[in-house]
Protein backbone atom coordinates (compact mmCIF):
# COMPACT_ATOMS: atom_id res chain seq x y z
CA UNK A 1 0.00 0.00 0.00
CA UNK A 2 1.23 3.41 -0.87
CA UNK A 3 1.86 5.58 2.19
CA UNK A 4 2.25 8.87 0.28
CA UNK A 5 -1.37 8.93 -0.74
CA UNK A 6 -2.40 12.08 1.17
CA UNK A 7 -4.40 13.76 -1.57
CA UNK A 8 -7.39 11.53 -0.94
CA UNK A 9 -9.72 13.14 1.61
CA UNK A 10 -10.67 9.86 3.16
CA UNK A 11 -7.16 8.61 3.61
CA UNK A 12 -6.43 6.67 6.72
CA UNK A 13 -3.48 8.84 7.79
CA UNK A 14 -4.14 10.64 11.05
CA UNK A 15 -3.15 14.29 10.45
CA UNK A 16 -5.12 16.07 7.71
CA UNK A 17 -3.16 17.79 4.98
CA UNK A 18 -2.32 21.38 5.97
CA UNK A 19 -4.57 23.85 4.21
CA UNK A 20 -2.87 26.12 1.73
CA UNK A 21 -2.36 29.72 2.71
CA UNK A 22 -5.25 32.11 2.30
CA UNK A 23 -6.08 32.46 -1.34
CA UNK A 24 -5.03 35.76 -2.83
CA UNK A 25 -7.98 37.96 -3.62
CA UNK A 26 -8.24 37.29 -7.31
CA UNK A 27 -11.21 39.59 -7.77
CA UNK A 28 -9.43 42.74 -6.75
CA UNK A 29 -6.61 44.39 -8.57
CA UNK A 30 -3.78 45.39 -6.32
CA UNK A 31 -3.04 48.63 -8.13
CA UNK A 32 -6.60 49.98 -8.03
CA UNK A 33 -8.19 49.22 -4.73
CA UNK A 34 -10.98 51.75 -5.11
CA UNK A 35 -12.59 50.01 -8.06
CA UNK A 36 -14.37 46.79 -7.18
CA UNK A 37 -14.19 43.78 -9.38
CA UNK A 38 -15.93 43.66 -12.72
CA UNK A 39 -15.34 45.01 -16.16
CA UNK A 40 -14.39 48.60 -16.72
CA UNK A 41 -17.57 50.59 -17.16
CA UNK A 42 -16.30 53.83 -18.61
CA UNK A 43 -13.46 54.68 -20.87
CA UNK A 44 -11.37 57.71 -20.23
CA UNK A 45 -13.10 60.68 -21.81
CA UNK A 46 -11.50 61.71 -25.04
CA UNK A 47 -11.87 65.28 -26.11
CA UNK A 48 -13.61 65.58 -29.44
CA UNK A 49 -12.70 68.50 -31.61
CA UNK A 50 -14.98 69.86 -34.27
CA UNK A 51 -13.37 68.99 -37.56
CA UNK A 52 -14.90 71.93 -39.37
CA UNK A 53 -13.76 74.42 -36.74
CA UNK A 54 -10.28 72.94 -36.91
CA UNK A 55 -10.19 73.40 -40.66
CA UNK A 56 -11.57 76.93 -40.25
CA UNK A 57 -14.63 76.29 -42.40
CA UNK A 58 -17.07 78.77 -40.96
CA UNK A 59 -19.88 78.18 -43.44
CA UNK A 60 -20.75 74.74 -44.78
CA UNK A 61 -22.09 75.08 -48.28
CA UNK A 62 -24.37 72.47 -49.79
CA UNK A 63 -22.17 72.54 -52.89
CA UNK A 64 -19.25 71.18 -50.87
CA UNK A 65 -20.56 67.71 -51.38
CA UNK A 66 -17.40 65.94 -50.25
CA UNK A 67 -17.58 67.59 -46.84
CA UNK A 68 -21.31 67.11 -46.45
CA UNK A 69 -21.13 63.48 -47.48
CA UNK A 70 -18.47 62.77 -44.90
CA UNK A 71 -21.07 63.43 -42.20
CA UNK A 72 -23.43 60.81 -43.55
CA UNK A 73 -23.43 57.06 -43.57
CA UNK A 74 -23.22 55.02 -46.73
CA UNK A 75 -26.95 54.53 -46.57
CA UNK A 76 -27.55 58.27 -46.61
CA UNK A 77 -28.34 58.87 -42.96
CA UNK A 78 -26.92 61.87 -41.20
CA UNK A 79 -24.45 61.04 -38.48
CA UNK A 80 -25.15 62.47 -35.07
CA UNK A 81 -23.02 65.05 -33.34
CA UNK A 82 -22.22 62.53 -30.66
CA UNK A 83 -20.49 60.38 -33.24
CA UNK A 84 -18.78 62.95 -35.39
CA UNK A 85 -17.90 65.41 -32.63
CA UNK A 86 -18.98 68.40 -34.68
CA UNK A 87 -20.02 71.49 -32.78
CA UNK A 88 -23.66 72.54 -32.69
CA UNK A 89 -23.23 75.40 -35.12
CA UNK A 90 -21.65 73.21 -37.75
CA UNK A 91 -24.08 70.36 -37.18
CA UNK A 92 -26.96 72.68 -38.02
CA UNK A 93 -25.20 73.76 -41.20
CA UNK A 94 -24.41 70.18 -42.19
CA UNK A 95 -27.99 69.10 -41.54
CA UNK A 96 -29.33 71.89 -43.69
CA UNK A 97 -26.84 71.09 -46.46
CA UNK A 98 -27.79 67.41 -46.40
CA UNK A 99 -31.47 68.26 -46.73
CA UNK A 100 -30.83 70.65 -49.61
CA UNK A 101 -28.71 68.04 -51.37
CA UNK A 102 -31.36 65.39 -50.93
CA UNK A 103 -33.94 67.68 -52.43
CA UNK A 104 -31.63 68.36 -55.37
CA UNK A 105 -30.98 64.61 -55.59
CA UNK A 106 -27.29 65.15 -55.13
CA UNK A 107 -27.45 62.90 -52.10
CA UNK A 108 -29.86 60.05 -51.52
CA UNK A 109 -32.67 60.04 -48.98
CA UNK A 110 -31.97 56.35 -48.49
CA UNK A 111 -30.15 53.61 -50.29
ZN1 LIG B 1 -17.50 73.59 -35.48
Q: How far is the CA of 88 from the centre of ligand 1 (A)?
A: 7
- Decide if 89 is inside a domain: yes
d(CA 8, CA 32): 39
CATH number at residue 82: 4.10.640.10
Number of domains in the chain: 1
Domain around 83: 61-103
- Decide if 21 is inside a domain: no
Q: How far is the CA of 81 from the centre of ligand 1 (A)?
A: 10
Q: What is the pTM of this model?
A: 0.58
Q: How far is the CA of 61 from the centre of ligand 1 (A)?
A: 14
Q: How far is the CA of 69 from the centre of ligand 1 (A)?
A: 16
- Decide if 97 is inside a domain: yes
Q: How far is the CA of 93 from the centre of ligand 1 (A)?
A: 10
60, with CB counted inside 10 A (0-12, 13-18, 19+), is buried
Q: What is the pLDDT along the chain (111 residues), one digit of tens a residue?
A: 455 555 555 545 566 666 666 665 666 555 555 666 777 776 677 778 999 999 999 999 999 999 999 999 999 999 999 999 999 999 999 999 999 999 999 999 998
Amino acid sequence: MDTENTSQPGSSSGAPAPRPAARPDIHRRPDDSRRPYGPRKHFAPRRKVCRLCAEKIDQVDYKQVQIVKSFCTDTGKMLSRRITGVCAKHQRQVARAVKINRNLSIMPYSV
